[in-house]
Structure 1
Amino acid sequence: MKLTILGCYSATPRTITNPTSQIIEINNQMFLIDCGEGTQVQLRKHKIKFSRINHIFISHLHGDHFYGLVGLISTFMLLNRQNDLHVYGPKGIKEVILLQLRLSNSFTGYGLYFHELTSKESQVVYEDDKVKVSTIPLQHRVYTNGFLFQEKPGDRKLNLGAVFNYEIDKCYYQKIKNGSDITLDDGRIIPNEKLTFDPTPTQSYAFCSDTKYDESIIPLIENVDVLYHESTFLEQDKDKTTHTMHATAIEAATIAKKANVGTLVLGHYSTRYGNIKLFKEEAKTVFENVLLGDDGKVFEFNK
């Protein structure tokens, strides 16, 4: 599982920082989460292939999380994209994007599909044979969702030594990898665990930005391998979280600890601070395994 932070600062883009956007790669699939201004520039800078992006997840309709979307959609058109593009986001995302395309007389030559979200309960929004994506309802000033990416278990791995020992025909290999026992010609039943090894352990990733401190998300993200949780403010400015409906680094760490996550990645920092290392220092007073997100950082996670 690989996480590329394209931007992780709040509010406005600057020459040295970018608003929220990131790429999560899980089970050889790539997903774009949020699309603030400058996202396509960051994609080029970090040599991420545009053609691999077929699913975009937008958390909410604040500009620093989706103002780069129409530009990216237009660039896909100019690059003669052929693959369908699916956008998942709050109700209104279709209207605002199509209005811009219509008024600029720009139309895509590829299939553009919007999946608008309105539910305040967690729901599965995307699923295939490798990955499932569910929403994480968040508490912010507008309707907002985080997203939980869960890798599905793969096939069991053949124990070739055992398979050869029992002289099992190759035509049964896929059946064995699917978990079935095998009956030999002499009537003996060979349990699957004698013929296979466990599949590669699955991984999971939870994206939670923007939100105030909210313990109701804990059951949804419990035991995830990696949690990205917004940490807009340091503790000295905790009073600002009430009206902005954001969180502090310590609050992010508290959620991580109570949810028993493997790793916490911090982000969505207010640009009022000159040193983001302070966010990690504060978070580590509550939760030990903390990584400091920053523009251009790439994290690889293995089990």
Structure 2
Amino acid sequence: MKLTILGCYAATPRTFTNPTAQVLEIKNRLFLIDCGEGTQVQLRKNKIKFSKINHVFISHLHGDHFFGLIGLISTFSLLGRTTDLHVHGPKGIKEISLLQLKLSNSYTNYNLYFHELESLESEIIFEDDKVIVKTIPLQHRVYTNGFLFEEKIESRKLNLSIVERYGIEKCYYQNIKNGKDITLDSGEVVSNDKLTFDPDPTMQYAFCSDTRYNEAILPIIEGVDVLYHEATFLESEKALAQKTMHSTAIEAATIAKKANVKKLILGHYSTRYESIDLFQKEAKTVFDNVVLGDDGKQFEF
């Protein structure tokens, strides 16, 4: 699993900072999470083959999280894309996108699908044979979701040296991978744990931006490997965080601690502060394994 943060600052783009967008690579799939202004420029800067992005997840309809979407959709057309593109986001994302395409006479030459979200409960919004994606209902000034990306458990791995020692034919290999014991011609039953290794541990990544402090998400993100949680303000601006329905660094760390996550990545910083190191310093007073997200930063898990 590899995470590339294209932008993780709040509100407006600046010369050296970008609004929210990130790419998650998981099981050889690329998922774009949010798409603020400048996203396609950041994709190029970070040498990401964005033609491989087939699914875009938009958390909410504030401009710093989706104003780059129509540009990306249009660029795909200019580059001759033929692969389907799926956009998952709040109700309204289809209307606003199609209006821009209509008035600019720029309809795509590829299939563009919108999957609009309205539920206030966590739900599965994408699933294939490798990955499952669920919503994390958040509390912000408009309807907002975070997203939980989970690897599916793979089949068990053959211990070929043992399998061959028992002379087991290849036609039984899939049953063994599926966890079944094998009965030999002699009548001896060989247990599956002798013939296989455990599959690789699965990974989970939770994206939570934007939201006020909200313990209702704890059961959904319990024990995840990596949590990205917005930390727009420091404690000195806690009243402003409450007013704007954002979180402080300490509140993000408190969520991470109560959910027993393994690693916390902070982001969505207000640009009023001189250094983002202040966010990590405050968060570490509550939760130790805290790292700072920043534009262009990559994490491999």
TM-score over 0.5 for the pair:
yes
Cα shift readout 1:187-224 (whole Å, capped 9, x = no counterpart): 22211111000001000000000000000100010000
Q: Which residue of 2 aligns with 1:241?
A: 241
CA distance in 2 between partners of 1:22 and 1:285 (Å): 27
CA distance in 2 between partners of 1:77 and 1:175 (Å): 45
TM-score normalised by the chain length of structure 1: 0.98
Cα shift readout 1:66-110 (whole Å, capped 9, x = no counterpart): 000000000000110011000000000000000000000001111
Q: Which residue of 2 aligns with 1:14?
A: 14
CA distance in 2 between partners of 1:48 and 1:215 (Å): 35
CA distance in 2 between partners of 1:28 and 1:199 (Å): 17
1:41 to partner: Cα distance: 0.2
- Residues 87-236 of structure 1: matches in 2 within 5 Å? 87-236=87-236
SS in 2 for 1:11: coil
Q: Which residue of 2 aligns with 1:285?
A: 285
Cα shift readout 1:148-192 (whole Å, capped 9, x = no counterpart): 001001111111121011011112112211212111111222111
Q: Which residue of 2 aligns with 1:48?
A: 48
SS in 1 for 2:65: helix
CA distance in 2 between partners of 1:171 and 1:274 (Å): 64
SS in 1 for 2:35: coil
SS in 2 for 1:89: strand
TM-score normalised by the chain length of structure 2: 0.99
Letter in 2 for 1:281: K
Q: Which residue of 2 aligns with 1:296?
A: 296
1:63 to partner: Cα distance: 0.1
CA distance in 2 between partners of 1:234 and 1:101 (Å): 40
CA distance in 2 between partners of 1:144 and 1:177 (Å): 40
1:53 to partner: Cα distance: 0.1
Letter in 1 for 2:212: K
Question: Taking every aligned residue pair, what percent have the same amino acid on both sides?
Answer: 74
Letter in 2 for 1:278: L
Letter in 1 for 2:41: V
Letter in 1 for 2:290: V
C-alpha RMSD of matched pairs (Å): 0.6
1:116 to partner: Cα distance: 0.2
CA distance in 1 between partners of 2:77 and 2:255 (Å): 41
- Residues 47-86 of structure 1: matches in 2 within 5 Å? 47-86=47-86
CA distance in 1 between partners of 2:34 and 2:28 (Å): 20
Aligned length: 301
Unaligned runs of 5+ in 1: none
Unaligned runs of 5+ in 2: none
CA distance in 2 between partners of 1:202 and 1:270 (Å): 33
1:274 to partner: Cα distance: 1.4
